[in-house]
Chain A
């Protein structure tokens, strides 16, 4: 992989912001300028993935299935922590042939906004903000400086855009645009920016 592209997640006081850039490369060649790396799993939980897009999309499908299955069996929405744990179990089950992904699972439930980070083999750690992939260290430089507890979703959206922008400019395999996934108590919203 290893970490090609950039995604980040920010936990805000009233919700979650996930952001990712839009470039897909194979060995430097730009295969697509319009790939989504942040997705809603349900209307209250989202995922951000970098790495092998095939693995990422399979993981997304499995998680959507698990979330819906949980909802039908228990007649309530799955907790964010449980969703992250399910993802962790799936990733760990591929330990000997790991999915080439780095993942953020984040959302809002009755315990408020929460954000989890998972490595390729399923370790999961709760955090306030994180940036992954080849542009991750660049984005993290901005997040580290500007993040504060009690940040609002609006402020976090702006912060996410400027952090990804730093990665677009200085990471060769990130570029072309930004996708934002904003999750609040009222559901999710997708926003799109182009870099041209």
Chain B
């Protein structure tokens, strides 16, 4: 029951024509104990970028702070927002630098809009790869089942949101460490929108 709070999760990210859609569940566990049931796992980095977190929460929160600093400093120095690739690349360099000594136990999706929508997968080994759609965390095998069958590049925004929601929802049904509800973040040109859908589960007599 005790021990470090690690978040086994489900997070999903996908890119459609003009938007990035990120989605994640809301459950945090410590062992099998549900430590929190209203966690926001999609953290805003800047007006045009966000990051989904999974792994060791403390590490992930530290990385989020670093990302915010990097993004803010870039726009103050350069007078324009940082590109999503630039941001993801700098984060991956930090993760790689700490890998052999004391690694940050994280798996991240960095998503946002610079001149076009992009998502990048970044993990503790320093991996960096651009994706069209991706899922991370303990629920990702289930989420991939939904994404693989439903993803197309020409999805509309509403269809993309629905697909991301269904992917995370399916994962919460079959992964014990995911649950409680789904957060969705949409990022587009001059657009950053957050949305929460909670599951209203009740005990019902048969």
Residues of A whose CB lies within 8 Å of any CB of B are 4, 23, 25, 28-30, 134, 137, 161, 165, 168-173, 175, 178, 191-196
B202 in the interface (beta carbon within 8 A)? yes
Interface of A is mostly: mixed
Complex Cα gap A134–B179 (Å): 17
Complex Cα gap A127–B29 (Å): 31
User: Which chain A positions have C-beta within 8 A of B1?
Assistant: 137
Number of interface residues, chain B, beta carbon within 8 A: 21
Is B138 within 8 A of A28, CB to CB?
yes
- Nearest CB of A to B35, in Å: 9
- A194-B176 in contact given A134-B32, A173-B32 (Cβ < 8 Å): no
Residues of B whose CB lies within 8 Å of any CB of A are 1, 8, 27, 29, 32-34, 37, 138, 173-177, 179, 201-206
User: Which chain B positions have C-beta within 8 A of A169?
Assistant: 34, 37
Is B174 within 8 A of A171, CB to CB?
no
Is B203 within 8 A of A172, CB to CB?
no
Is B204 within 8 A of A30, CB to CB?
no
Is B34 within 8 A of A193, CB to CB?
no
Is A195 within 8 A of B29, CB to CB?
no
- A193-B173 in contact given A134-B32, A171-B32, A172-B32 (Cβ < 8 Å): no
User: Which chain A positions have C-beta within 8 A of B33?
Assistant: 170-172
- A28-B201 in contact given A170-B33, A172-B29, A192-B206 (Cβ < 8 Å): no
User: Which chain B positions have C-beta within 8 A of A191?
Assistant: 205-206
Is B27 within 8 A of A172, CB to CB?
yes
Is B176 within 8 A of A195, CB to CB?
no
Is B34 within 8 A of A171, CB to CB?
yes
Is B206 within 8 A of A30, CB to CB?
no
Contact of A29 among B29, B174, B204 (CB under 8 A): B174
Complex Cα gap A195–B172 (Å): 14
- A165-B203 in contact given A28-B138, A171-B32, A172-B27 (Cβ < 8 Å): yes
Is A193 within 8 A of B176, CB to CB?
no
User: Which chain B positions have C-beta within 8 A of A193?
Assistant: 203-206
